Chain A
Amino acid sequence: MTSIFRTASLPILVALLAALCTGSGQAAPVDHGALNGAWDRYSTATLDPRVTAAAPVPPPPLKPMYQAEWDAQQKAAKEADARGQPLYGGYAQCLPDGMPAMMMAMFPMEVLQTPGQITIIEEAYNQVRRIYLNQKQLPIDDAEPGFWGHSVGHWQGDTLIVNTVGIKEEVRFRGAPHSPNMQIDERIRMLSHDIFEDQVTVTDPQYLTMPWKFTWKYVRKPGYKILEYVCEANREYQDPQTGGIRMRIGVPGAAGSAPAPAAPKP
């Protein structure tokens, strides 16, 4: 049991035991404040037998001309790993996920509900997205491209309906290219007192043959306080020869440490 308690935090286990004993979470009245608090991703049904696990995210349904490029990228990444020179990219560059990838909740996530706004904070890379309630979405041309875009939402019964536009073209989930017109629609609802889901639909007729749909689920992490995350002093750098990730030996700037790596290739 020791390893279980090291992996899953005690408060979650206690909450689950309480839920199993009381049978709470069955047909609860709609509580639009229930999203408040800290959450972890819920990736397996065994955590609460009443809620199935989220299915793995399927590959992007890209049009053939983009599919070939995507396949080549996946192959290159696999081959680079096999050579022991993993490709240099986003995280090693200290870049955050952006949308929709931030919602996979690599690390714990916090939801704050305040009048007119729902704010979601992801611990990894200090990511913050703001969902403005009951406002009209901006025309694409007015939505300044960013990592998290511009999100508006409204409640439809027990479901929070969210639309997001304005994602930078270089912010790519699973390496999938997209156009400036990409729309991300989400349907967020509580499945029990301690579990909620986010059904995501990515629509982009220019790049996708059909909408790309997947679901993430989250389990409450009672009492958890989100940590700060500043990406600083990363000793991983891009090898100018291979383009892969290297790790610098020694404290940067200290006597005897390896020289600073050459500037990465543009």
Chain B
Amino acid sequence: MVNLTGLGVRLASVAVLLGAAAAQAHHSFAMFDHDHQIKISGTVTHFQWTNPHVYIDLDSTNDQGELKHYTIECANPGILDRIGWKFNMIKVGDKITTIIAPLRTGEAGGLLKLVTLADGRKFENGAPAGKANIQ
């Protein structure tokens, strides 16, 4: 007889530990400021589905009406596939909202934490990139 409650708990800790192990992947994310995340909404100008990183390019207009171009780094196609992304789920012209850890250099770019697509679906950026800490 299998104790399903116990198994559930064990599998939950697996999920956490697998996340920690995966966080060692690829390279340091120290060029991004994970403590001061920002929300950027805009129109997709380019979606690059490549290794070692997927990129979203976005034109965003701020409260002062100024247009700014952002480049947002995502994990890689494999990591994203395995959490439900699809290579063609973001298209040029889509209106999306992102939460990013901005570049420490102050340039208009960052590491994706969460993207909300035009249809309302939300996707994280895989365990190594970590979670959004703002809404």
CB pair B84–A227 under 8 Å, yes or no, is no
- Residues of A contacting B83 in the complex (Cβ-Cβ under 8 angstroms): 6-7
A256 vs chain B, min Cβ distance (A) = 6
B residues apposed to A, CB below 8 Å: 2, 7-8, 10-15, 17-19, 21, 24-31, 33, 45-46, 48, 50-53, 55, 57, 69-71, 73, 76-79, 81-84, 103-105, 107-109, 127
* A46 contacts across to B, CB distance below 8 A: 10-11, 13-14, 17
Interface 9-residue window, one of A175-183, A206-214, A228-236: A228-236
Nearest-CB distance from B56 to chain A (Å)?
11
Q: Is the CB of A232 within 8 A of B18?
A: no
Q: How far is the CB of B110 from chain A (nearest CB, A)?
A: 9
Q: Does chain B have a CB within 8 A of A123? A: yes
Interface of B is mostly: mixed
Instruction: Tell me, in angstroms, the Cα distance from A83 to B28 when the chains sit together.
Output: 12
Q: Which of B24, B27, B70 contacts A245 (CB 8 A)?
A: B27
Interface size of A in residues (CB-CB distance below 8 Å): 56
Q: Which of A156-164, A165-173, A186-194, A246-254 contacts B (4 or more CB under 8 A)?
A: A246-254
Asked whether, in the complex, the Cβ of A251 is within 8 Å of the Cβ of B27, the reply is: no
**A134 within 8 Å of B (CB atoms):** no
Give Cα distance in the complex from A236 to B107, angstroms: 14
Some 25 contacts from A to B, beta carbons below 8 A apart, are: A4-B8, A4-B12, A4-B14, A7-B14, A7-B15, A8-B15, A13-B11, A17-B7, A44-B18, A44-B21, A46-B10, A85-B30, A86-B28, A86-B30, A91-B26, A91-B27, A106-B26, A231-B52, A232-B50, A233-B48, A233-B50, A234-B50, A235-B55, A245-B31, A246-B31
